[in-house]
Amino acid sequence: MRRLWLIFAQTTTVCLGILFVVSTLRPDLLAWSARTNVEVVTTREAAVETPLRAMTSFGDAAAKAMPTVVNIYTSKEINVPRHPFMDDPVFRHFFGDQFDAQKRRSSSLGSGVLVSDRGYILTNHHVVEAADEIEVALADTRRAKASIVGTDPETDIAVLKIDLGNLPVIAFAQSDQARVGDIVLAIGNPYGFGQTVTLGIISALGRHMGISTFENSIQTDAAINPGNSGGALVDIGGNLLGINNAIYSPSGGSQGIGFAIPSSLAKQVMEQIIATGVVTRGWVGIGVQDMTPELAKALNLPKVKGALVTDVVPRSPAQQAGLRAGDVLVAVGNKPVTDYASTLNLIAALKPGTVAPLKVVRANDEIEFKVSVGTRPKPARSDTGR
């Protein structure tokens, strides 16, 4: 009996071993593993991750734009106040007039962009403001004296001219088609180190910081530092998107918040300056402010739109046409008004001497006035500069 039990145990062990091997290596041979009428589910497996594409170089864009960006060196003569001791007769008796007011030259630097083979250069008004001498250094090491064709403090644009031949010229991009997130390069002469390229993206569009009267700035995180003013902000094709003109920085260095004047605006200003030497803008003589939900509710307006007229200049075109303080301006020349900035830009774009329709809401009624457009007065010159 004990022998039979031993044979049974060994046989069972061998069978279980064989079953384990078969079920592991060939489970399809086991009848009980096959199932009929089982729904087949098809799934999609994630592809094996492929190596990242090689990062695109922006060397071609930089090589295309860099020759057109110039370094600008300016100097001016300033008066050094005389020493306060010179008001003392005793002091003057011993030292004479050697401590009287003297003159010395102050120098500064900036950047510019060659936009015409005739030698025209776009830069910032604040770069060349009050300068007595301006020298331009090209990327090919040539240097030339520059003359000011004209400036426009209200957009911070200036146009210079040099007399050199065989000049590289940058192409204008369609800055109106720029989008937040687009890659850009900032090119300039930071701290006088020489031509430098930095990389970033467009962080925002249509910024209004109060730097100049007419603003529609491109904000970028490409590093812009002192000396970059007037330099180029270009797209990845090496085309001009803007003229760098300001940074926001408590320390004075780049904090990743820089601003550029859109090339479309710079081009408009440049063309007027080259043609006439000045920039002429429309004027109707009103002051406006942004509409708010509270103002709209107080005026019983169904929705917030337009800009509130807060002031009408006496004997101005607007007053003569019939506009009043308290009107809500909703359209200028058939273009909708959205806020203070849009009002300023729309009116400035009107041609002096023409008649433009201005649509307002007064007592919930829309009224259209025909206004004879005047010429915007010149801004008062700043004695301190920027």
Outline where 96-192 has alpha helix (H).
125-128
C-beta separation of 231 from 247 below 8 A: no
**By the 8 A CB rule, do 186 and 229 touch?**
no
| CA–CA dist 70, 229 (Å, integer) | 11
The residues facing 225 across adjacent strands are: none
Contacts of 7 (CB under 8 A, 6+ apart): none
In the set 108, 111, 125, 156, the catalytic residue is 156
Catalytic residue chosen out of the listed positions 108, 111, 203, 229: 229
- DSSP assignment string, 144-167: EE-EEEEEETTTTEEEEE---SS-
* H or E element, residue 282: strand 282-283
133, β-bridge pairs: 75
Beta-carbon contacts of 323 under 8 Å, excluding residues fewer than 6 positions away, are: 284, 286, 309, 312, 358, 360, 369, 371
Q: Which of 108, 111, 126, 175 is catalytic?
A: 126
**Residue 337: C-alpha distances to residues 4, 332, 333, 346, 358 (Å):** 105, 7, 10, 8, 10
Give the H or E element holding residue 7.
Answer: helix 2-25
Distance, CA of 198 to CA of 218 (rounded, Å): 16
Residue 286's nearest CA partner among 329, 337, 342, 339 is: 329
One DSSP character per residue, 195-235 reads: -EEEEEEEEEEEE--SSSSS--EEEE-S---TT-TT-EEE-
In the residue annotation, 365 being an active-site residue is answered as no
d(CA 114, CA 231): 10
DSSP E strands in 59-168: the ranges are 69-80, 102-114, 120-123, 133-137, 143-145, 147-152, 157-161
Instruction: Answer yes or no: are the C-beta atoms of 284 and 373 closer than 8 Å.
Output: yes
Q: How far apart are the first and last CA of the chain?
A: 114
126 catalytic residue (yes or no): yes
* 208 is known as an active-site residue: no
Q: What are the residue numbers of the active site?
A: 126, 156, 229
